[in-house]
C-alpha cells in the first residue's frame, strides 16, 4: 500500500493526476494483496482506479507466485520487477500443494522478456529490516517508472515519519543497485 502511494505521490509531484486502488481488510490476513496505480496528465483519461487486464505497463511483484497470479494484468511488452523469495501459504502447506518459488521465477523468465529479479531477502538482511522490501523493489523499478532517486526520496519524505527515512532510503538504494546486478 505504501509503495503504491509513493508511486502516486511521485507522479503527482511531477504534475500528473494519480489514482490508486488498494486491498484493505479481510484480504490482508495472509491473502493476496494487489494495488493498482495509474497516472496521467488529465484526470478524465483515467476515470477508473482499476487497471484492466492486459494493460499494465509495469508489474511489481513482492513474491514470485503472486507476480504470476497478477501477470494477466501486464500488457504485451510490459516490464516486471519481482523479488525472488517465496512466501509459503499456510493453506497450501496443509493440503500438501506447496509449489517452490523457483518454479514461478522460471516461468517469469520465459514469459516476461523485460524482467528484473532482485533478492529481496538479501537486501532486507543487509538493510536490517524485512519491512523494506517495498522500497527495494521501488528502487529497482525507479527507471522503469521514470522517477529519479531524488523524486522518490522527496515522496518518501512527504509520506513517512522522519525516523524511518534513512532506513527506507538505504533500501531504495540497495534496490537500485540490485537492479544493475540483475541486468
Partner 1 sequence: MEHILLMGNEAVAYGAIDAGVSFVSGYPGTPSTEALETVARLKPDGVHVEWSVNEKVALEAAAGASYAGARALVTMKQVGLNVASDPLMSLNYVGVKGGLVILSADDPGPISSQTEQDTRRFAQFARLPVLDPSSPEEAYAMTRAAFELSELFRVPVLLRPTTRVCHACSAVERMEPTPLVKPSGFVKGKEWVIFPRLSYEAKKRIVAREPELAEAQRPFNKIDEINGDTPALIGVACGGIGSAYAREAILNLGLRCRILQIGAPNPFPEAMAAEFIDGLECVLVVEELDPVIEDGLRPLMNGIPLHGKRDGVILVAGELSAAIVESALRTIVPVRAINGGGAKESASARKPIAGSEDVDSAERPVPPVRPPVLCAGCPHRASFYAVKRAAKGRKAIFCGDIGCYTLGNAPPLDMVDTCLCMGAGVTVAQGLKQADPEAYCFAFIGDSTFFHSGMTGVLNAVYNRADMIVVVLDNRTTGMTGRQPHPGTGESAVGESAPEASIEAILRALGVASVRRANPFDVEEAIETTHEAMDEKGVRAIVFEAPCIAVAKPGKPMSIDIARCAGCQVCVKALGCPALSFQPSPKYEGRIVAHINTALCTGCGLCAQICPTECIQPIDLLCGSGGGGL
Which stretches of the chain bind partner 1, using CB under 8 A? Answer: 4-5, 8-9, 12, 17-32, 43-50, 52-55, 65-66, 68-69, 71-78, 88-94, 97-99, 103-104, 107, 110-113, 130
Of the pair 94, 183, the CB lying nearest partner 1 is at 94
**Burial (Cβ within 10 Å: 0-12, 13-18, ≥19) of residue 74:** buried
CB of 7 to partner 1, least distance (A): 10
How many CB atoms are located within 10 Å of the residue 101 CB?
Answer: 17
Of the pair 109, 146, the CB lying nearest partner 1 is at 109
CA–CA separation, 71 and 68 (whole Å): 5
CB 10 within 8 A of CB 145: yes
CB of 84 to partner 1, least distance (A): 14
CB of 14 to partner 1, least distance (A): 12
Residue 153: in which H helix or E strand, if any?
A: helix 149-159
The grid coordinates listed for 163 are 525516523
CB of 160 to partner 1, least distance (A): 13
Amino acid at each position: 500500500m505504501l509503495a503504491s502511494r509513493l508511486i502516486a505521490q511521485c507522479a503527482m509531484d511531477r504534475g500528473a493526476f494519480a489514482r490508486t486502488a488498494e486491498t484493505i481488510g479481510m484480504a490482508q490476513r495472509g491473502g493476496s494483496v494487489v494495488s493498482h496505480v495509474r497516472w496521467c496528465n488529465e484526470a478524465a483519461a483515467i476515470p477508473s482506479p482499476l487497471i484492466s487486464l492486459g494493460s499494465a505497463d509495469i508489474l511489481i511483484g513482492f513474491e514470485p507466485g503472486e507476480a504470476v497470479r497478477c501477470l494477466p494484468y501486464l500488457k504485451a511488452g510490459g516490464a516486471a520487477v519481482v523479488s525472488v523469495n517465496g512466501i509459503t501459504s499456510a493453506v497450501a502447506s496443509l493440503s500438501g500443494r506447496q509449489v517452490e518459488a523457483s518454479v514461478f521465477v522460471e516461468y517469469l523468465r520465459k514469459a516476461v522478456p523485460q524482467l528484473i529479479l532482485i533478492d529481496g531477502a538479501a537486501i532486507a538482511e543487509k538493510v536490517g529490516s524485512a519491512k523494506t522490501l517495498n522500497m527495494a523493489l521501488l528502487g529497482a523499478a525507479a527507471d522503469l517508472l521514470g522517477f529519479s532517486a531524488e523524486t522518490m526520496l522527496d515522496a518518501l519524505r512527504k509520506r513517512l515519519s522522519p525516523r524511518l527515512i534513512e532506513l527506507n532510503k538505504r533500501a531504495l538504494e540497495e534496490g537500485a543497485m540490485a537492479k544493475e546486478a540483475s541486468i
